[in-house]
Amino acid sequence: MHGTRILQEADRLMTVCNSCRYCEGLCAVFPAMEMRRAFSDGDLNYLANLCHACGACYTDCQFSPPHEFNVDVPKTLATARAESYATYAWPHAFAGAFARNGLVISLVAALSVAAFIFGFAAINDRDVLYGIHTGPGAFYRLMPHNAMALLFGAAFLYAIVALVMSVRAFWRDIGEPVGMTTDAKALFQAIRDAGELRYLDGGGVGCFNEDDQPTDRRKLYHHLTFYGFVLCFAATCVGTLYHYLFAREAPYAWWDLPVVLGTLGGIGLLIGPIGLLIEKWKRDPVLVDEQRMGMDTAFIVMLFLTSITGLALLLWRETASMGPLLALHLGVVFALFITMPYGKFVHGIYRFVALVRYARERQMMGE
């Protein structure tokens, strides 16, 4: 017996699939399933996070609905996956954030933006807030650099700690001992599999989304989103290095590395999320965990807002709008950081960890 109804259903499906195995060439989920004859909660959460929701196994399955065996692996694993985020959330008191995630993220984002706007207004005189600031340190005339670094450093640190604790629980539950650093090969394999989204390809033809034609472009949009995010993060890191190592203060010229990285990343973070949202709305409900639409949408919108407010700041940083735009951008980014452990962001972490586990299992099976 399993802890939840959805894990019970996932167990039933994996039992059906394990006696068929026609899908074993499509992705990592089915070969991983074949290494087991019975499934613990942890096994099922592992398989759920290994699934990339490409939809191929649904379209290819002779037992999918309306067949009485009612085999719908993508939807079942999507639901189990979302519930696993709450299961492993740290501290557990915040697990409830996953249940009404769209609402929670919206509220946090709104409060965060409001706090920055009021904060800016409270600290700064009106002519500073709406003043035109240029040259090195322009941003820090509105908010001192140390305050900014401290606030965001603390938020980021908290997110990291919460994520590490969650992943640790997941890692243990799926049957791995703590301390995976020794296995560089599996880690490298997982980085490759995640980096190229190897399993988001419908077994080779592309993913299925609105119907049984493999016309889905989520892989492209996801690449734009993910690598956009990485570039933006790199921009922040380079900026931090500039500040502390070379005492070069933001804002930087348009040709300077942080701006180039941020702009390129920002463009990816505009197109990617829009594409993902459109594909999501087109997706056949039979493949989707509809209860989690709010969580998915909230994360996509937050990434989009991060990018658009950042780009707006870049465009109008030498005008009187800079102050309000900076408050807006910082508010969105702050909300993104502190909600990272309690929203769709975690999908990437868990899936990556599942891929590491899968690479290790393949090694152990002698492949």
Partner 1 sequence: MVDLTRRFDVLVIGGGNAALCAAISARRAGAAVLVLEGAPKFYRGGNTRHTRNMRCAHDAATEILTGPYTEEEFWQDLLLVTGGQTDEELARFMIHESKDILNWIVEQGVRWQPSLGGTLSLGRTNSFFLGGGRAMLNALYRTAEQLGVDILYDAEVIDLKIDDGMFLSAALKQPVGGRTEVRASTLVAAAGGFEANIEWLKEHWGEAADNFLIRGTPYNRGSILKMLLAKGVQEIGDPTQCHAVAIDARAPKFDGGIITRHDSVVFGVVVNKLAQRFYDEGEDIWPKRYAIWGRLVAAQPDQIAYIIFDSTVVTSFMPTLFPPIAGSTIGELAGKLELDPVALETTIADFNAAVRPGTFDHTILDDCRTEGLTPPKTHWARRIETPPYLAYPVRPGITFTYLGTRVNRQARMLMKDGKPSANMFAAGEIMAGNVLGKGYAAGIGMTIGSVFGRVAGQEAAKNARN
Kindly tell me which residue out of 6, 44, 48, 57 binds partner 1, with binding defined by CB under 8 A. 57
Q: Which of residues 210-269 bind partner 1 (CB under 8 A)?
A: 212-213
Q: Which of 31, 258, 266, 343 binds partner 1 (CB under 8 A)?
A: 31
What is the nearest approach in angstroms of partner 1 to the Cβ of residue 231?
35
- Of residues 178-217, those binding partner 1 (CB under 8 A): 203-205, 212-213
- Which residue number, 137 or 203, has a Cβ lying nearer to partner 1? 203
309 Cβ contact list (under 8 Å, min separation 6)? 325, 328, 329, 332
**Segment lying near partner 1 (by CB under 8 A), choices 51-59, 122-130, 292-300, 346-354:** 51-59
Residue 59 or 101 with smaller CB distance to partner 1: 59
Residue closer to partner 1 (CB basis): 34 or 173: 34
The yes or no reply on residue 60 touching partner 1 (CB under 8 A) is yes
Q: By CB under 8 A, tell whether 25 contacts partner 1.
A: yes
**Distance in Å, CB of 355 to partner 1, minimum:** 19
If binding is defined by CB under 8 A, does position 59 make contact with partner 1? yes
From 57-65, 128-136, 266-274, 317-325, give the range in contact with partner 1 by CB under 8 A: 57-65
To the nearest whole angstrom, how small is the minimum distance from the Cβ of residue 203 to partner 1? Answer: 6
Considering only residues 5 to 24 of the shown chain, the ones binding partner 1 according to CB under 8 A are 15-16, 18-24
| Residue with smaller CB distance to partner 1, 62 or 181 | 62
Specify the residue, 57 or 359, whose C-beta has the smaller distance to partner 1: 57
- Give the x-and-dash track for 61-100 against partner 1 (CB under 8 A): xxx--xxxx-------------------------------
HSE at residue 234, side-chain half, CA atoms within 13 A, is: 16
Residues contributing to the site for partner 1 (CB under 8 A):
15-16, 18-26, 31, 34, 37, 56-57, 59-63, 66-69, 203-205, 212-213
